[in-house]
Amino acid sequence: MGRYFDPHIHMYSRTTDDYDKMSKAGIEVIVQPSFWLGAPRRFVGTFEDYWEHMITFETVRAKEFGIEQFVCISVNPKEAAERPLALDALQAMVSNGYLDRERVVAIGEIGYNLINELEEEIFRKQMDIASEKNMLMTIHLPHNNKPEGMRRIEKILQETSSRRYDRRRILVDHNVEETVDQTLELGMWVGLSVYPFTKLSPERAIKIIKKHGTERIMVHSAADWGISDPLSVPLVAREMRRSGEFDTKTIEKVTLYNPYEFFKQSTKFTWKP
**pLDDT of 179 above 80:** yes
User: pTM of whole model > 0.85?
Assistant: yes
Read off the pLDDT of residues 104-140 as tens digits, 9 standing for 90 and up.
999 999 999 999 999 999 999 999 999 999 999 999 9
Percentage of the chain modeled with pLDDT above 90: 95
Percentage of the chain modeled with pLDDT above 70: 99
How wide is the angle at C-alpha 91 spanned by C-alphas 61 and 148, nearest 5°?
Answer: 85
Nearest to 137 by CA among 156, 159, 163, 109: 109
* pLDDT for the residue numbered 256: 98
* pLDDT for the residue numbered 96: 98
Confidence band for 164, pLDDT divided at 50, 70 and 90:
confident
Nearest to 8 by CA among 27, 33, 25: 33
φ, ψ dihedrals at 71, nearest 5°: -130, 145
**pLDDT of 262 above 90:** yes
Using an 8 Å Cβ cutoff, are 8 and 33 in contact? Answer: yes
**pLDDT of 89 above 60:** yes
d(CA 161, CA 263): 26
**pLDDT of 268 above 90:** yes
Mean pLDDT over all residues of the chain?
Answer: 96
**pLDDT of 162 above 60:** no
> How many C-beta neighbours within 10 Å does residue 226 have?
14
